[in-house]
């Protein structure tokens, strides 16, 4: 039968009791019995942390000795500790001392658990699709306690970086109305909701582009961005669009010309200076007395157009248009147009991989849309797959 605290204390006080005998009776290690016995015999110098560290039965016995010696300080410290059994015994002993008229210290009251503020739901953020110059708008919102919703409207370029920034404060209800209006009246730009982390990454990436290119940042942009903290890395859009099976990939690239019929791509054309130069050459061919019939003129138009397209898509422009197509694929997918997204991603992969630009109908339409002389189908050119 296990020893109670009083019997164990008597054994610890008995100079004739063997520590091994006490250890076996109490079910504790022998060296711990030695520690407890020394504490009992020198109870005036015992420390609360040493008592709490003893195995349960021994701690209770030493607390009985502390109570008998009037060591209310030890009892109070153990009562406030984390050893639940020892704390319970210490509180019992303090109560008995109090009943006897002994002044005992007040136990510290447990601090109430910290009240965590309610977790604010993440505010929705938004982005428009890219236009033909690689520019888009991003709306990045953050909650400002006690003030409302701070909204930063940034215009960013995939070439020049952060072009403009306007920051304003709205109430939550106002922001919901503002967001609804954005989605409803986004028009050809097809505004879409995006994660806040993505919005932050887009604006931070635009800042880096501006600084790398020597483009001055909008007034107040550095301070505003510093308040947002470290931006997450920009997600790689290619991860969402792995290559399609061979036959499907070819069909998607062949259908890439129809992307220009989508509202958000109707304004996409090649660079203005290149189009002007190409237009001048086409006009010259149309007036040339050396071309005696329509067939010769069509042949010359086709030749000039192919030269312009091939020359235009150098390495830098391939990279730029491939990325614009990939970002547009993400936007199309986010707004529910998965078929067009797959086509845009396939055309992006073709340009990035170095495919002949003449075999990517998307590339040809960048010229034909802006050059009326080149738009009619040439009798020499095979029809583009729908």
Model pLDDT for residues 127-159, shown as the tens digit of each residue: 999 998 999 999 999 998 888 999 999 999 999
Residue the block writes with tokens 């006690």:
146
89-101: per-residue pLDDT in tens?
888 888 888 888 7
Confidence grade of residue 379 (pLDDT, cut at 50, 70, 90): very low
Alpha carbon distance 277, 349 (integer Å): 28
Tokens coding 326: 């990939």
Residue 53, domain member (yes or no): yes
pLDDT (0 to 100) of residue 91: 85
**Which ranges of 80-162 would DSSP assign to H, the alpha helix?**
84-99
pLDDT (0 to 100) of residue 190: 81
Residue 108, domain member (yes or no): no
Alpha carbon distance 187, 59 (integer Å): 77
Confidence grade of residue 297 (pLDDT, cut at 50, 70, 90): confident
Instruction: Answer yes or no: do 86 and 148 share one domain.
Output: no
Alpha carbon distance 308, 278 (integer Å): 7
Instruction: Answer yes or no: do 167 and 75 share one domain.
Output: no
pLDDT (0 to 100) of residue 36: 84
Instruction: Answer yes or no: do 152 and 69 share one domain.
Output: no
98-107, 112-121, 271-280, 357-366: segment of lowest average pLDDT: 112-121
Domain count, the chain: 3
pLDDT (0 to 100) of residue 377: 45
Over residues 36-65, the mean pLDDT reads 86
Tokens coding 21: 């005998």
27-43: per-residue pLDDT in tens?
888 888 888 888 888 88
The parent domain of residue 181 ranges over: 125-234
Residue 341, domain member (yes or no): yes
Number of CB atoms found within 10 A of residue 382's CB: 7
What predicted TM-score, i.e. pTM, was given to this entire model?
A: 0.64
- pLDDT surpasses 90 at 362: yes
215-230: per-residue pLDDT in tens?
899 999 999 999 999 9
Q: Quick one: what percent of the chain has pLDDT higher than 90?
A: 47
């Amino acid at each position: 039968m296990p020893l109670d605290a009083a019997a164990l204390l008597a054994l610890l006080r008995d100079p004739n009791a063997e520590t091994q005998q006490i250890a076996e009776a109490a079910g504790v290690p022998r060296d711990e019995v030695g520690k407890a016995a020394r504490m009992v015999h020198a109870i005036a110098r015992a420390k609360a942390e040493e008592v709490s560290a003893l195995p349960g039965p021994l701690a209770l016995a030493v607390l009985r000795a502390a109570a008998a010696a009037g060591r209310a300080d030890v009892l109070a410290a153990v009562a406030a500790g984390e050893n639940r059994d020892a704390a319970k015994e210490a509180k019992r002993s303090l109560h008995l001392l109090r009943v006897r008229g002994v002044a005992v210290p007040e136990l510290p009251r447990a601090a109430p658990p910290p009240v965590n503020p309610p977790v604010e739901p993440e505010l929705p953020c938004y982005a428009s699709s890219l236009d033909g110059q690689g520019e888009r708008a991003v709306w990045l919102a953050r909650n400002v306690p006690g003030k409302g919703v701070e909204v930063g409207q940034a215009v960013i370029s995939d070439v020049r970086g952060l072009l403009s920034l306007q920051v304003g404060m709205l109430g939550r209800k106002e922001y919901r109305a503002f967001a609804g209006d954005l989605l409803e009246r986004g028009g050809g730009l097809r505004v879409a909701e995006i994660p806040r982390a993505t919005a932050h990454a887009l604006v931070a990436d635009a800042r880096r582009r501006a600084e790398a290119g020597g483009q001055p940042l909008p007034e107040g942009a550095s301070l505003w961005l510093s308040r947002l903290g470290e931006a997450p890395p920009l997600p790689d859009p290619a991860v969402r669009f792995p290559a399609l099976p061979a036959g499907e990939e070819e069909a998607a690239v062949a259908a890439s010309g129809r992307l220009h019929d989508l509202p958000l791509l109707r304004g996409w054309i090649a660079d203005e200076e290149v189009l002007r130069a190409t237009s001048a050459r086409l006009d010259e061919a149309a007036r040339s007395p050396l071309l005696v019939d329509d067939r010769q003129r069509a042949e010359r138009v086709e030749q000039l157009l192919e030269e312009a397209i091939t020359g235009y898509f150098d390495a830098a422009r391939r990279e730029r248009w491939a990325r614009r197509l990939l970002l547009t694929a993400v936007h199309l997918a986010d707004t529910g147009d998965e078929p067009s997204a797959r086509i845009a991603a396939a055309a992006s992969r073709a340009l990035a991989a170095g495919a002949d630009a003449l075999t990517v109908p998307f590339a040809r339409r960048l010229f034909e849309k802006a050059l009326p002389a080149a738009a009619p189908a040439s009798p020499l050119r095979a029809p583009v797959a729908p």
